[in-house]
Amino acid sequence: MQLPRCSPRTYQRITLLALIALGFIVVTGGAVRLTGSGLGCSDWPTCEKNQLVAPLEYHAMIEFVNRTITGLVSVAVMLAVLGSLVRTPRRRDLTWWSLGLVAGVLAQIVLGGLTVLFKLAPPFVMGHFLVSMVLIWNAVVLHHLAGEPPTPARFDVSSEVRWMGRLMVASAVLVLFLGTVVTGAGPHGGDPEVERLDLVVGEIARLHGASVVIFGLLTVATMLVLRRAGAGAAVMRRGEILLVVLVAQAGVGYTQYFTGVPAALVGLHIFGAVCVWVALLWFVLGLHVHPPASPEPTPRPIDTEREVAAVDR
C-alpha cells in the first residue's frame, strides 16, 4: 500500500498547527491555575482514584478539560512527526525536530502528573511552564525550517548583531524565569491551600520588571544597529513586530502589578509571554539565511551515432 504524500507547503501548515496547539495549552494551563482548579483532579493519570472522568464539578471539569486538550496537542505533534515521514522530498532534519516535540510532550505529561501529585509545589509549576517554552522554541524552529531550503544556515548580519541576538535570547530566558518565580510567590497558586515560595512578591516583581527593561533596551539597540547597517525589510519587520508585542506585554505587566494582580490580566500576561517568546525566536531566526539549493545538473543528451563513431575510431 502506497503511503500518502505531503507537499512542503502542507507540511509547513502542519507545523504551524502544532505551534499554535502548544501555545494554546500554555494559556489553558494558566487558566486552570487562575481559576483555582489546579487540584480539581487530585490524582494522575486518572482524575480521582478509580475515576478516569471528572465529576460534574466546576474545578474538576476545568482541570479535566485541560488534560483533554493535552491529548489534542499530542495529536497535533504526532501529525508533525508523520508529516515529516511522508513529506516529499523527505528531510531528516525535519524528522529530528518533530521527534523533539514528542520528547517534550512526554516530558510535560510526566511533569504535569508530578505537579498534581506534589500538590502544585511551586518548583514543579515553574518547571512545567519553562519546559513549555522549550517546546515552543522547538516548534518555532521546526516551522521555520519547514519553509526554508535544505541547506546549512548562515548569518546574514554582522558579528555584532549576532551577539546582540544571543544576548536578547539570554535576557528573555531570564525574564521568563523571573516571571515563574513571581508566579511561585504570588497569589494565584492554583488552589487556596497550595504552598507559596517564601519570597516578597513586590521585590521579585521589581526584579522581573528590571529584566524586561533590559530585554527591551537590547531589542531597541539591535534594531538601531540593523537599521544603520541597511538590513533587509523582512528582518526589520520581524523586529518591529517583536517591539510592538513586547511593549504591549510590558503594559499589561505593569497594569496588573498596580491593580492588585487580577486573574484576567494575569491570563492575558501569560498569553503575551507566549507571543513575545515566539516573536523573539522568529526575529532571531530571521538573522540567518538558507541559500537556495543548487539544482541538479541536467544530464547531457547522448548522441548514439556520434558515440559509436568515436569508438570505431
Residues 162-173 have pLDDT tens digits of: 899 999 999 999
33-79: pLDDT as tens digits: 999 988 888 888 788 887 888 888 888 899 889 888 888 999 999 99
Q: Does 135 share its domain with 158?
A: no
Domain hosting residue 222, numbered range: 151-291
Tell me whether residue 46 is in a domain: yes
Shared domain check, 132 and 48: yes
306 pLDDT band, cuts 50/70/90, is low
Query: Is residue 86 one of the residues assigned to a domain?
Result: yes
What average pLDDT does range 166-195 have in this prediction? 92
Confirm whether 266 is domain-assigned. Answer: yes
**What does pLDDT average to over the chain?**
89
Is 220 in the same domain as 241?
A: yes
Tell me if 309 is assigned to some domain.
no
Within-domain flag for 124: yes
Scan for cell 521546526, then name that residue.
142
Our count of domains for the chain comes to 2
Are residue 245 and residue 263 in the same domain, yes or no? yes
- Same domain, yes or no: 126 and 188: no
Residue 57 carries which side chain, given as an amino acid letter?
A: E
Query: 204-236 pLDDT, tens per residue?
Result: 999 999 999 999 999 999 999 999 988 888 999
- The pLDDT assigned to 245 comes to 97
DSSP string over 121-179? -HHHHHHHHHHHHHHHHHHHHHHHHHTS-SS--EE-S-HHHHHHHHHHHHHHHHHHHHH
* 84, 144: one domain: yes
**Do 228 and 128 lie in a common domain?**
no
Q: How far is CA 190 from each of CA 56, 253, 264, rounded to the nearest angstrom?
A: 19, 20, 14
Which pLDDT does position 312 carry in this prediction?
53
* Residues 182 and 277 occupy one common structural domain: yes
198 and 119 share one domain: no
Does residue 143 share a domain with residue 1? Answer: yes
